[in-house]
Amino acid sequence: MKILILGGYGVFGGRLTELLSDRSDIELLICGRDLARAKDFCARYRGHPRAIPCQLDRRAIDEALVIRKPDLVVDASGPFQDYGADRYGVVEACIAAGVDYLDFADAADFVFGIDRFDAAAQAAGVFVLSGVSSFPALTAAVLAEMAKTMDIRSVDGGIAPSPFAGIGLNVMRAVVGYAGAPVRLRRGGRDTHGIGLAESLRFTVAVPGRLPLRNIHFSLVDVPDLLVLPSAYPAIADIWMGAGPVPEILHRILNLLAKARARFRLPSLLPFSRLFYTILNWMKFGEHRGGMFIRARGVADGKAVERSWHLLAEGDDGPYIPSMAIEAIVRKLLAGERPAAGARSSVGALDLADYDNLFAGRSIHSGFRSDDSGAPLYRHLLGSAFDGLPPRVQALHDRHEAREWRGEAEVRRGRGPLARLVAALFGFPEAATRVPVAVRFTPEGDAERWTRDFGGRSFASLQSAGTGRNAYLLVERFGPLAFAMALVAEHGRLYLVPRRWSAFGIPMPRFLLPRGTSFESESDGKFRFHVEISLPMIGLIVAYQGTLEPA
């Protein structure tokens, strides 16, 4: 198979070639206006497919199709918002030449208008799929899975790239171009518009049992989903999609500029695209992780329900996700599975199972959550990951009523004067090689009080589900101090990972956040606990480990 990639040496085209690097049965034409860049890319390429550099302006695509005779054209150039009056020139040329077509289009109007070529594409026996990327190919696959168990009435979602992922100049031009401009969407059952980058929400991406992203600030973006998903699901009355780039301070500046443009009817911010592109790609700090979420509200069995899908991508794997939809279709083609002829958006082109196969072997994890606030605290926070915990860990947490577990423990204490002072303030136990332990669990509304007794010395805390910026975190309160922890299920253990803390309701600096490895597990049929608490500049405060059984 011969694949012609417009913008083949760019961000998305380049990653697509990497994803297909294991296939020796394809040939890649790396095309763009800059022949030197195309040659440089091909010289560095180390995949199995033959990569051929080509100088090609999209306006001359007709001649290239005759000379090169590709089996498939992939448009990875953009920005699709700036294609002008002849924005479908490549599509029309492919249909005329009988060549299949895919693109990475992120412009809502472009993708929404592609079906005008449906009859011509069917007559030519070719498929034309537009917007074959995270939005809307992946989002539509998620909603199709949700729609199996609920009637969807509203949808919101967002993507949060890693600060180290990098962003292409064309993508930045597209985003800055609609900042402060009307963005078409459906709201309250009516087709109306929002203001690009001027509307925001906060959300925590939290795959069940995985370390969640920090609470992210998302702002409205102009993506195809806003127009094509309501067409696929007419019952949707509200839809909203956002992006959460970091650092947040730069994101907030864009928010202010977008609001100012809308309020004072200022000209487009497009001239500042390169400035924002340079700054965003320079300010790379924080966690090298990215994510995505889709949240749907609707009706199931006559009751209002809310369900959400979360995705986490670690390290350098996340930036490949937008290119995986086209990778999946190419692999299906090579396996003899061909999309139906016609022109349409990528909605319905892939199933979630197709993505699961691509995510396998990479540090990309996803999962669903349901509104199960009536479940026991830990089951509520862990969702589907709770069922994968060891039986004794499940047994301790999967209860609503008061109960008591007993056992024994070993206790270590920090030796410094400040460590001893902090331990005394919290009532932590004294050092001991073997001490009897009793833990009482007492429900208090939606929370649970834990009273721990180490040989007659007791201390208590109140555990509850976090809200707001602590969403999906376990919040443990010791008087005026509150510590928000992620519940991470890994290798047969349930880890409690500190993420945020506050004093008297005031957020405290993260560099002062208590540290230490704490987890729950099972050993010899008993519940086993291991807790370490250390403070920066002070060191170990207390560490205790032992076993418990139901009293």
Which of the four pLDDT bands, split at 50, 70 and 90, describes residue 506?
Answer: very high
What angle, rounded to 10 degrees, do the helices at 139-146 and 352-359 form?
120
Q: Report pLDDT digits (tens) over 97-133.
A: 999 999 999 889 999 999 999 999 999 999 999 999 9
Rg of the chain's alpha carbons, rounded to an integer? 27
Tens-place pLDDT, residues 383-401: 999 999 999 999 999 998 9
Residue type at 289? R
pLDDT in tens, 183-196: 999 999 999 999 99
Amino acid making up residue 532: E
Residue 481, burial from CB neighbour count under 10 angstroms (0-12, 13-18, 19+):
middle
How many C-beta neighbours within 10 Å does residue 275 have? Answer: 12
Residue 280: band (very low, low, confident or very high) from pLDDT cuts 50, 70, 90: confident
What's the pLDDT at 119? Answer: 98
How many residues would you count in the chain? 551
Neighbours of 306 (CB within 10 A): 15
For residue 523, give the nearest of 547, 488, 496 by alpha carbon: 547
**Is the predicted pLDDT of residue 294 greater than 80, yes or no?**
yes
User: Which pTM does this prediction carry?
Assistant: 0.94
Query: Higher confidence at residue 472 or residue 46?
Result: 472
Res. 50 pLDDT band, cuts 50 70 90: very high
Separation CA 315–CA 161 (nearest Å): 11
pLDDT bucket at 285, cuts 50 / 70 / 90: confident
- Mean pLDDT to the nearest integer, 315-327: 96
Q: Find, among 17, 227, 1, 19, the residue nearest to 131 by Cα.
A: 227
Q: Which of 81-95, 497-511, 527-541 has the lowest mean pLDDT?
A: 81-95
Give residue 367's pLDDT.
97
pLDDT tens, residue by residue, 4-31: 999 999 999 999 999 999 999 999 999 9
How far is Cα 139 from Cα 186, in angstroms, rounded to an integer?
A: 17
pLDDT (mean) for 429-433: 95
Mean pLDDT of the chain: 95
pLDDT band of 286, cuts 50, 70, 90: confident
Cβ–Cβ < 8 Å for 19, 74: no
Given pLDDT bands bounded at 50, 70 and 90, which one contains residue 430? Answer: very high
Amino acid type, 34:
D
Share of the chain above pLDDT 90, in %: 88
Average pLDDT, integer, range 71-78 = 94
The burial of 406, by beta-carbon neighbours within 10 Å (0-12 exposed, 13-18 middle, 19 or more buried), is given as middle
Unique residue bearing structure tokens 């418990």: 548
Q: Are strands 100-103 and 72-75 parallel, antiparallel or unpaired?
A: parallel
Q: Is the pLDDT of residue 408 over 90?
A: yes
Closest residue by Cα to residue 232 from 133, 81, 115, 93: 115
- Structure tokens, 285: 């700090």
How far separated are the first and last CA of the chain, in Å rounded? Answer: 68
pLDDT tens sequence across 217-232: 999 999 999 999 999 9
pLDDT tens, position by position, 295-312: 999 999 999 999 999 999
| pLDDT of amino acid 253 | 93
Distance CA 133, CA 128 (A): 14
What's the whole-number mean pLDDT along residues 229-245?
96
Range name among 71-80, 288-297, 436-445 with the lowest pLDDT average: 71-80
533 — pLDDT class (breaks 50, 70, 90): very high
At 11, give phi and psi (nearest 5°). -60, -55
Kind of pairing between the strands at 238-243 and 151-160? parallel
pLDDT at 241: 98
pLDDT band at residue 276 using 50, 70 and 90 as cut-offs: confident
- pLDDT, average across residues 171-189: 93
So what's the pLDDT on residue 279?
86
